[in-house]
Structure 1
Amino acid sequence: MDAETVLTTTRSVRRKLDLDREVPQDVLDDCLRIAQQAPAAGSMAAQFRWLLVRDAETKARIAAYNRETAEAAWAKYGHLVEERALASARHLVRNLDRVPVLAIPCMIGRPPADTFSQSAYFGSAYPAVWSFQLALRDRGLGSSICGYHLQDHETDVAALLGIPADVTQVSLLAVAYTTQRDFRPAARPAVEEITYFDSWDSARPRG
């Protein structure tokens, strides 16, 4: 698969995850090696960790924490979300325990308070997360970020998984093979509508 196809067709896959097909560890290892090459700020590349969860009982407990927070959020804000997107999110959350692998990217240390340091901290984590997702796509797998538990239950999941108190769970990804191989680029605003020049809201120069 060429780079442009991977970059433009890597979707947040929820309803098309194959919940019954095993994901071999060697495939995940390949994807993690690729993710390790993502750019990071200074020494922060050495602070990044992955925790992979396959155990059925453990996944069920993590899924329950996610579901509790997600259902509360949907009850309060669900009317603001497009119905199709909401249905897709509900499907994943309510089947999260069936997903073959839950991948939790972590950073040693806690998030800094100031914006500049936060930029370096999370900016050193999410390139690796995205590289992991791209590598999965190239191998016929899909993924979706599903970190609802971070709102209310990060410490509960940390206790469940033995994650030290000074380690931050950056996110949680549901990982599985997909039930279809082909995905299309998503509808997005035109570049001309979202790009400014030299000052905010300045239109593209003519010519």
Structure 2
Amino acid sequence: MTIDELLTTTRSVRKRLDLDRPVPIELVRECLEIALQAPSGGNRQGWHWIVVTDPELRGQIGDYYQRSAQAYFASGVSGAHLYKDDPARAEVQQRVSASAVHLAEHMGEVPVLVIPCIQASKLPEGNQAGLWGSLLPAAWSYMLAARARGLGTAWTTLHLAYESEVAELLGLPGDVRQGVLIPTAYYTGDTFKPASRLPLDDVLHLDRWGGPGAV
């Protein structure tokens, strides 16, 4: 596929993850080798990658994820409650929410769970963009590389409500912080296409907020 196609069709895959087909660890390693080419602040490369394939560990992580997801869905602030005054967008949100519920119920069954982490003695106060900007581009590169190899992924963070419990489960040092949980599996079907998005001019601001060219 072209670069533009890769960038515009790498979707969050939840219901269509193949839970029964094993994923070769060599394929995951290929994706991670590409991820390591991402930029990091000061070229520190302070990232670490936890790849979980053990069924028992995956199940325990899945339990934490589902527990957090249930609280989130019951909170009234999940995506399912957004844009109720816009029927078209509300319908999309319902589909997204249904797929998120499905993933929460099956997270522990996904063949590979990848947890990108970054080494930090303590989280900085105030804006943390400098820290996470040295990890999240690499995590997205991993997801793009996975898509190019026929693997589906999804960006999830609900497990972070139990970050310390998951850290203890996986034996993470105290100065290693988790950034995201990326379920990874082959996907069923191949009909991914660009998603419906707000027009660029609705979110574009030139030079300053509300300045010339802003809409």
Whole-angstrom distance in 2 between the partners of 1:149 and 1:195: 33
Aligned residues: 201
Tell me if structure 2 keeps the 8 A contact 1:93–1:146: no
Alpha-carbon offset, residue 171 of structure 1:
1.0
- SS of 2:123's equivalent? coil
Runs of at least 5 residues in structure 2 that lack an aligned partner in the other structure:
83-92
Alpha-carbon offset, residue 192 of structure 1:
1.6
Partner residue in 2 for 1:128? 138
1:179 to 183, 188, 206: 188
Whole-angstrom distance in 1 between the partners of 2:126 and 2:157: 23
State the TM-score, normalizing by the size of structure 2: 0.89
Residue correspondence of structure 1 range 109-128 to structure 2 within 5 A: 109=120, 110-115=122-127, 118-128=128-138
AA in 1 matched with 2:155: I
- SS of 1:192's equivalent? helix
AA in 2 matched with 1:88: S
Alpha-carbon offset, residue 5 of structure 1:
0.5
Give the 4+ runs in structure 1 shifted more than 2 A: 201-205
Tell me if structure 2 keeps the 8 A contact 1:44–1:121: no
AA in 2 matched with 1:111: L
Partner residue in 2 for 1:164? 173
1:107 to 101, 118, 134: 118
Partner residue in 1 for 2:87? none
Whole-angstrom distance in 1 between the partners of 2:3 and 2:188: 22
Q: Percent identity?
A: 41
Tell me if structure 2 keeps the 8 A contact 1:197–1:204: yes
Whole-angstrom distance in 2 between the partners of 1:3 and 1:40: 22
Partner residue in 2 for 1:72? 71
Alpha-carbon offset, residue 83 of structure 1:
1.7
Partner residue in 2 for 1:37? 37
Whole-angstrom distance in 1 between the partners of 2:30 and 2:72: 35
AA in 2 matched with 1:120: G
- SS of 2:169's equivalent? helix
Runs of at least 5 residues in structure 1 that lack an aligned partner in the other structure:
none
State the TM-score, normalizing by the size of structure 1: 0.93
**What's the Cα RMSD here?**
1.4
